Structure 1
Amino acid sequence: MRKILVVGAGQSGLQLALGLQSHGYEVTLMSNRTADEIRSGRVMSTQCMFHTALQHERDLELDFWEAKAPRIEGLGVSVAAPGSFEDGPARRAVDWVGRLDGYAQSVDQRVKMAGWMETFVQRGGQLVIHGAAVGDLDYFSRTYELVLVSAGKGELVSMFGRDAARSPYREPQRALAVAYVHGLGPRPEHPDREVVRCNLVPGVGELFVTPTYTVSGRADTLFWEGVPGGPLDVFQGVKDPAEHLSLTLELMERYTPWEYARATKVELTDAGGTLAGRYAPTVRNPVGVLPSGGRVLGVADVVVANDPVTGQGSNSASKCAAAYLASILEHGEAEFDEAWMRRTFARYWETASHVTKWTNAMLAPPPEHVLNLIGAAQELPPVANRFANGFDDPADFEDFFYEPERTAAYLASVSGE
């Protein structure tokens, strides 16, 4: 059996470790926390996984919570009328829901990562609880045929240099703040349907509301993305979860009152149900060089870290794990040299490049043709549906989103003009 080390126990690292394990590889997994510590700790992210990413989990028979997690059948977009919130609560200029071809789901990573980690051990995998440093990898690179680094924070990331040509932003483009809550009421526009809601407040930021499954069952996430230095950038330094939720609701009342109307009775799911932070979107060199000269391959967020404004983090991690797994299986007994590592990353970049392009575009003020597209979706359901399904396959945006001429031609074809 070929010996492989996976460092980092997130969506991509665990999915890859379990996938390799299922094909007979001798896999060691390193995590800086135990399953119990993850399950009882603070939330790590928001996540809404769409059909393609979910199918990768199903293919490995890892969809343990599919029957418990809400089935998200649509994606809705609301846009606040510019300037409407300056003297009082905002008004909506746009509001629509697109239908997803295959349902989406969200499972709190505390639940999923803890469960997958326990499954990995039950299936005979070696789990090492240790916060790995570069020196550790130097040692392990001589013991394992391949070392995969899936820990997206800390010292290890410094081994992978920034790819300036693919990283237009040097500073964080959003201040992030999430609260997991119980007690959110249904949207009156679709009371019997689970829908992820994307609320855009021009010049201020975005609020995403997502049905999810957490440690205490069915819940929702309230996720603010604020323009740095703007009115939503108020969570830095807030340690008290109750204060975090209070701030979240105050901002909803002002900037998304249509969402606040159903949030008047919410409460946090647990003491660890809030998180705030920020980071600069970055693409990195996929191959890390160790002091001894050994090579390690970066995985998912280590090498392509996009802002969560398009909800692609867990989706990209799942797709990265699937691409890497296929490359490893196809490689047989050959050496995992640097050339192979770069080819393997290039395979993933075919998907990730579309995510990066779309996400970076959504972080910038939208041009007129994009505003026209989002507005047209309110009157043209096929446009709403196509936009919603772009969250599953961002490559489709190439055909109707970026270029004014293509957008105009697409809208004309749909409207029959």
Structure 2
Amino acid sequence: MRRVAIIGAGQAGLQLALGLQGAGYDVTVVSERTADEVRNGRVMSTQLMFGPALALEWAAGLNLWDDLAPVMSGFEMTQWDPAAQASRSRFAASFDDEVRSVDQRLKLSVWLELFETRGGRVEYRAVGAEELPEIAGRHDLTVIATGRGALSCLFGRDAQRSLYDSPQRTLACFYASGVEGLGAASDAYARVTGVSPVGDAIVMRALTVGGRCDILLIEGKFGGPYDCWADRPVPEEGLRRALDLLRVYAPWEYERFAKSEPTDAGAALYGAVTPAVRHGVAALGDGQYVLGMADAVVVNDPITGQGANNAARSAAHYLDAIVRRGTLPFDGPWMRQTFEDYWEHARHVHAFTDLMLRQPPADHLGRLLGAAFEYPAIAHRFTNGYADPLDYRDWLMDPASAGRYLAEIVRDG
């Protein structure tokens, strides 16, 4: 029986661990926290998941919350200038497939317990880089599945594939209960309100440890009004501050959130993310290598909601590659090819996220999004591209293809 060590117990690491376990591998997961510590801890992300990523969970039998997690039926984008009090520009479009968000505290704690219940081995501790040679020596394959801490730095930034070398937004995330709808279809949508010099307020429905809730993610431009979280306030104070901002910059969202409260004591998260692509394989010396996956090697700002989707795709791809390898060694060349095969899709996700972060915005992106407010076909295609950003390659990512696509839409009316 081949032995695999997975360091990190997030979406990618646990999905891979459960898949390998089901395929008959001897799997050890190293997690810094127990299931109870995860469940009772601080929120970790917005974990918005689109149809293709959800399908991977369904195929693996890990869709344990279908009867509980709310489905977001569409997407709404609003742009406006509150200083001018101009009428807002808005488009809305339906998702072609289900879109859901399940609090990772809930999902990962249950998956971790499920892995142990099925006989999996979990070591609860932090791992330092100096321990990796010993771990790699005891296993046929060692995978690093954590994007936090020193271990991810082992892989080194790939300067040719990384556009940014610092965070482009300051982030604040709140889980709230008591959010009231406006009686519109968009109450059940994922919604973005963008104010050009300030940033974006992003809202979605979710399932958390205490039941259904709404998530507010504020993506602030540095130095602007949304850049006000340096003191890391407790959830109650943070949400109150966020409501004051919504009152000015997204008043329709303020109406919904005015009576809301944090869902629990861990319902706030603050920080900033540096988008980066790292090398997929790290050499430990003496012919030993470790393989990086998901956020350990490809990091996206959450503005496009791709993190959990990338993790699910990475886990599914690595599972398939490992099983197909059979009894052959998991050597350095195989690891590098496994990452490159994953990158072939992940590069489209990363390019889309980088494009949405760019300041000032690319002219062709502005023209297309502006046209989406007039042409429903553009709004629908843009909305559903989030599920698989590969589609953006053909019409959104560069000025020439964007110009051709827009001309076709205008010509066809």
Q: Corresponding residue for 1:15?
A: 15
Aligned to 1:282: 276
CA distance in 2, matches of 1:4, 1:10: 16
Residues 302-327 of structure 1: CA deviation (Å, up to 9, x unaligned): 00001111110000010111111111
Q: Deviations over 1:320-370 (max 9, x none)?
A: 111111111111110000100011001110111001111111101323332
Which amino acid in structure 1 is aligned with residue 83 of structure 2? F
Report the residue type matching 2:337 in the other structure. Answer: R
1:41 is displaced (CA, Å) by 0.4
Counterpart for residue 178 of structure 1: 173
Which residue does 1:352 correspond to in 2? 346
Aligned to 1:160: 155
The Cα of 1:378 is off from its aligned counterpart by 2.4
**Among residues 261, 280, 293, which one is paired with 1:267 in the alignment?**
261
Residue 3 of structure 1 is matched in structure 2 by 3
8 Å contact 2:234–2:268 — kept in the other structure?
Answer: no
Structure 1 residue 103, shift from structure 2 partner: 1.2
Distance 1:156 1:43 in 2: 22
1:238-249 aligned within 5 A: 238-249=232-243
Query: Does the CA-based 8 Å contact 2:355-2:362 persist in structure 1?
Result: no
Return the match for 2:201 from 203, 207, 210. Answer: 207
- The residue number in structure 1 matching 2:246 is 252
Once the two structures are superposed, what CA deviation does each residue of 1:275-296 show, in whole Å capped at 9, x if it has no partner? 0001211111111122555200
Q: Distance in 2 between matches of 1:260 and 1:151?
A: 35
Query: Counterparts of 1:347 and 1:167 in 2: how far apart (Å)?
Result: 18
Structure 1 range deviating more: 407-416 or 145-154: 407-416
Instruction: Report what 1:95 is aligned to.
Output: 90
Per-residue deviation, 1:136: 2.0
Match of 1:223 in 2: 217
Q: CA contact under 8 A between 1:85 and 1:255: conserved in structure 2? A: no
Work out whether 1:117 is the aligned partner of 2:112: yes
Matched-pair identity in %: 43
Kept in 2: contact 1:79–1:92 (CA 8 A): no
**Inter-partner Cα distance in structure 1 for 2:396 and 2:226:** 27
| C-alpha distance in 1 between matches for 2:230 and 2:387 | 31
Matches within 5 A, 1:286-365: 286-290=280-284, 292-364=286-358, 365=360
State the partner residue of 1:85. 83
* 8 Å contact kept, 1:201–1:255: yes
How far did residue 399 of structure 1 move?
1.4
Aligned counterparts of 2:112 and 2:87: Cα–Cα separation in 1: 44
In the TM superposition, residue 407 of structure 1 has moved relative to its aligned partner by: 2.3
Distance 2:408 2:94 in 1: 20
Following superposition, the deviation at residue 406 of structure 1 comes to 2.4
Q: TM-score scaled to structure 1, two decimals?
A: 0.95
Distance 1:92 1:11, change over 3 A: farther
Residue pair 2:273, 2:300 contacting (<8 A) in 1 also: no
User: Could you tell me which amino acid in structure 1 is paired with residue 127 of structure 2?
Assistant: A
Matched, 1:369 2:364: yes
TM-superposed CA distance for 1:158, in Å, is 1.9
In structure 2, the residue matched to 1:145 is 140
SS of residue paired to 2:282: strand
Aligned pairs, how many?
411
Q: Is the 8 A contact 1:106 1:211 kept in 2?
A: yes
1:124-158: CA deviation from partner (whole Å, max 9, x where unpaired): 11011011111222211110000000111112112
Q: Name the CA distance, whole Å, in 2 between partners of 1:92 and 1:141.
A: 60
Q: Distance in 2 between matches of 1:160 and 1:152?
A: 11
Q: Which runs of 5+ in 1 are unaligned?
A: none
Q: 8 Å contact 1:27–1:126 — kept in the other structure?
A: yes
CA contact 1:167–1:282 (8 Å) conserved in 2: yes
- The amino acid of 2:115's aligned partner reads F
Q: CA RMSD in A?
A: 1.4
Distance 2:100 2:286 in 1: 43
Unaligned runs of 5+ in 2: none
